[in-house]
């Protein structure tokens, strides 16, 4: 099983002491939420977190909260074949472009990004573009 990210990787390192550890779940939570909304998760993950996913889709549970309930781990067993191929190819660039996409270059760190539905939607819009281009390139191979 491949692990793409863990919240623990972040709050065990140079995580800002003034922030709640919950902020370590935001960036990966946005990515996981997008994967869920685009049907790129495994059947097992969908079954294991059925209630939480239902609450997320009803916007009663933030993507970071769902990520936290999933042990703060983004791993290959949570994704279907296409979801894994995309995450393997694009997760690193997602992280490097994260603040730019949110137009928050002045924010102190990725951990300072407000966990809002508006920010989630901005990330989704960008991931949709990246995904479409990735699919086109993949089909052309």
| 35-94 pLDDT, tens digit each | 999 999 999 999 999 999 999 999 999 999 999 999 999 999 999 999 999 999 999 999
Q: Which of 43, 42, 22, 24 is nearest to 109 (CA)?
A: 24
pTM over 0.75: yes
CA–CA distance, 15 with 8 (Å, rounded to integer): 10
CA–CA distance, 53 with 69 (Å, rounded to integer): 10
Pair of tokens at residue 37? 């909304």
pLDDT category of residue 108 using cuts at 50, 70 and 90: confident
For 113-141, give one letter per residue: b (16+ CB within 10 A) or e.
Answer: bebeeebbebbbebbeebbeebeeeeeee
pLDDT value of position 81: 98
Q: Which of 88, 83, 48 is nearest to 69 (CA)?
A: 48
CA–CA distance, 6 with 25 (Å, rounded to integer): 8
pLDDT value of position 109: 84
In DSSP terms, 58 is beta-bridged to none
């Amino acid at each position: 099983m491949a692990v793409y990210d863990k919240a623990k990787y972040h709050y065990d390192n140079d995580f800002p002491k003034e922030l709640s550890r919950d902020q370590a779940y935001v960036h990966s939570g946005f990515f996981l939420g997008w994967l869920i909304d685009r049907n790129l998760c495994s059947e097992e993950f969908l079954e294991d977190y059925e209630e939480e996913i239902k609450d997320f889709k009803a916007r009663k549970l933030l993507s970071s909260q769902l990520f936290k309930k999933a042990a703060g781990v983004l791993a290959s067993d949570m994704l279907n074949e296409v979801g894994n191929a995309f995450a393997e190819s694009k997760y690193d660039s997602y992280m490097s472009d994260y603040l730019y996409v949110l137009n928050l270059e002045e924010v102190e760190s990725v951990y300072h990004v407000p966990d809002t539905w508006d920010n989630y939607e901005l990330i989704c819009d960008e991931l949709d573009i990246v995904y479409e281009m990735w699919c086109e390139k993949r089909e052309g191979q």
